[in-house]
């Protein structure tokens, strides 16, 4: 199986190399409609689809075959849902309405402002948790010997 995969990857690499040299110049106004460009996009989409399908398949296979991993995954998803709910609660308020009113000419709504605020809050909370999980064990090792 590995030999077949290697041969297929070599063939795809050679085809992509031939297409690379067949690409039109950058100053050509009709460059996006060239056949080699379209075929390179098809190769890219094919490889991306293979990567996504194999990642999901092997991830689910590992998740379902390892005892206790499904429970850990559900706890992690639940924790993420709690962080998202807290972040959404923190993002609503008078400032969201004020920002939406100020940006109304650009198409901003209060819901959009709340969603952006929620995303930023999720990022900040998860970043803080990640930094703490990296720093605290080091501090513990440093002070507890």
36-58 pLDDT, tens digit per residue, is 778 888 888 988 998 999 999 99
75-133 pLDDT, tens digit per residue, is 999 999 999 999 998 887 777 778 777 877 887 788 888 888 899 999 999 999 999 99
* Mean pLDDT, residues 11-31 taken together: 79
H runs (alpha helix) in 22-109: 35-65, 69-91, 94-102
SS3 135: helix
Confidence of residue 27 (pLDDT cuts 50, 70, 90): confident
Both tokens of 117, joined, read: 């605020």
58-71 pLDDT, tens digit per residue, is 999 988 888 888 88
What is residue 91's predicted lDDT score, i.e. its pLDDT? 85
**How far is Cα 103 from Cα 96, in angstroms, rounded to an integer?**
11
Confidence of residue 6 (pLDDT cuts 50, 70, 90): confident
What is residue 95's predicted lDDT score, i.e. its pLDDT? 78
What is residue 107's predicted lDDT score, i.e. its pLDDT? 79
The CB-side HSE value for 139 (13 A sphere, CA atoms) comes to 6
């Amino acid at each position: 199986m590995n030999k077949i995969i290697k041969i297929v990857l070599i063939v795809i690499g050679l085809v992509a190399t031939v297409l690379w040299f067949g690409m039109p110049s950058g100053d050509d106004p009709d460059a996006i409609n060239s056949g080699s460009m379209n075929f390179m996009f098809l190769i890219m989409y094919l490889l991306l689809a293979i990567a996504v399908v194999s990642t999901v398949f092997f991830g689910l296979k590992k998740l379902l075959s390892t005892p206790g991993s499904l429970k850990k995954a559900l706890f992690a998803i639940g924790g993420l849902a709690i962080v998202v709910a807290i972040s959404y609660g923190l993002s609503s308020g008078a400032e969201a309405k004020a920002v939406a009113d100020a940006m109304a000419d650009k198409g901003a709504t209060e819901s959009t402002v709340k969603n952006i605020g929620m995303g930023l809050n999720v990022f900040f909370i998860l970043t803080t948790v990640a930094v703490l999980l990296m720093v605290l064990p080091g501090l513990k090792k440093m002070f507890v010997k």
